[in-house]
Amino acid sequence: MTERLRWGILATGGIARLFTADLVRHGFDVRAVGSRREASAAAFAAEFGIPSVHGSYEALLADPEVDAVYIATPHPMHAENAIAALAAGKHVLIEKPFTLNRAEAERVRDAARAAGRLALEAMWTRYLPHMVRIRELIAAGALGEVRALIADHTQLLSADPAHRINALELGGGALLDLGVYPISFAFDLFGAPAAVRATAVFKPTGADAQVATIFEYEGGRTATSYSASDALGPNRAAVIGTAARIEIDAVWYSPTAFRLIDADGREVERYESRVEGRGMHYQAEAFERLVAEGRLDGGEVLSTDESVEIMGALDEIRAQIGLRYPGE
């Protein structure tokens, strides 16, 4: 058991609520919350029993009772907020995507190294029990030679042009909000691709509504993803090998079940997740262990360098589909 870090929550939106609820449910020390509006911070603190309230991000980062900061602002603010937190001596868990692009990701990584602090992307799905078991099966050779990944992440979200998902100035669109999940899964299984192919459909605001990608790897392996913010699909995934396949139920990136099916179509194993809450606390536990062990590179499950590479792949996808954000 490692000594618990004292957490600060930077921003009070929906994803911050989900993460904080899991932290509180599982006994983490959530010490403070900061928002640009003190009333929002106070309401958030009252909801989760957080002792310290700050009416600005700067005040939260200056709080000596905070060791680690969870950054839950919109995508274009991730790098600025993370670098400020690192400069204040805090470890940072940054809501996905890590940043808006690779150049920003490199700046965050370099700032973390200079500060001697951990900067980790909040790709919490990698730490869920069913994902841990899937990696164990693949490592043990249960699938034979792994040939392909197929995954979708599709939701029917707001069509309001002012909504964050449709606003380019807030990094809106299907790719960074939804596509990052299957793309990160592809990196988890196969690493960085040798080639990327992508196509997209856009909304009137210029934000991407649908994105399809194919990653190609040495030896003929492929990873195929489809993400959409304007239509709800199955939200399932499959990992296909020469000896067996894994079929992951909906919603594949959250606590769920999967089946290991051999080449004759027989179910060899069925795994069912039993998780209290959303399961975001598994990564928080890993984060605290990494800090305690001095593993400031992010460790084997998701290194900071890998998050930089993922942002590079997202940049390449955006270049192919013609998507740029204001200020780039």
For every residue of 15-36, DSSP letters joined together read HHHHHHHHHHHTT-EEEEEE-S
* pLDDT in the model for residue 3: 76
Q: Kindly list the averaged pLDDT for each block of 10 residues, start to end, along the chain of length 328.
A: 86 97 98 97 98 98 98 97 98 98 98 98 98 98 98 97 95 97 98 98 97 96 98 97 98 98 97 96 98 96 98 98 94
- Give me the catalytic one of 96, 117, 126, 281: 96
Phi, psi of 95 (to 5 degrees): -55, 140
Q: Are 50 and 9 in contact (CB under 8 A)?
A: yes
Give the closest residue to 119 by CA, choosing from 139, 141, 90, 157.
90
* pLDDT in the model for residue 2: 58
> Where on the phi/psi map is residue 116: left (φ > 0), alpha (ψ -120 to 50), or beta?
left
* pLDDT in the model for residue 287: 98
- Annotated active-site residue 96? The verdict is yes
Write the burial class of residue 159 (CB in 10 Å: 0-12 exposed, 13-18 middle, 19+ buried): middle
Which residue intervals of the chain bear CATH 3.30.360.10?
Answer: 129-274
Which residue intervals of the chain bear CATH 3.40.50.720?
Answer: 6-125+280-296
Q: Are 43 and 36 in contact (CB under 8 A)?
A: no
The CATH architecture assigned to 129-274 reads 2-Layer Sandwich (3.30)
Q: Which residues contact 238 (CB under 8 A, 6 or more apart)?
A: 148, 149, 150, 151, 245, 246, 247, 248
* pLDDT in the model for residue 1: 47
Give the residues across from 244 on adjacent strands. Answer: 262
* pLDDT in the model for residue 327: 85
- Assigned CATH topology for domain 6-125+280-296: Rossmann fold (3.40.50)
Q: Residue 249 carries which DSSP code?
A: P
Q: Are 259 and 267 in contact (CB under 8 A)?
A: yes
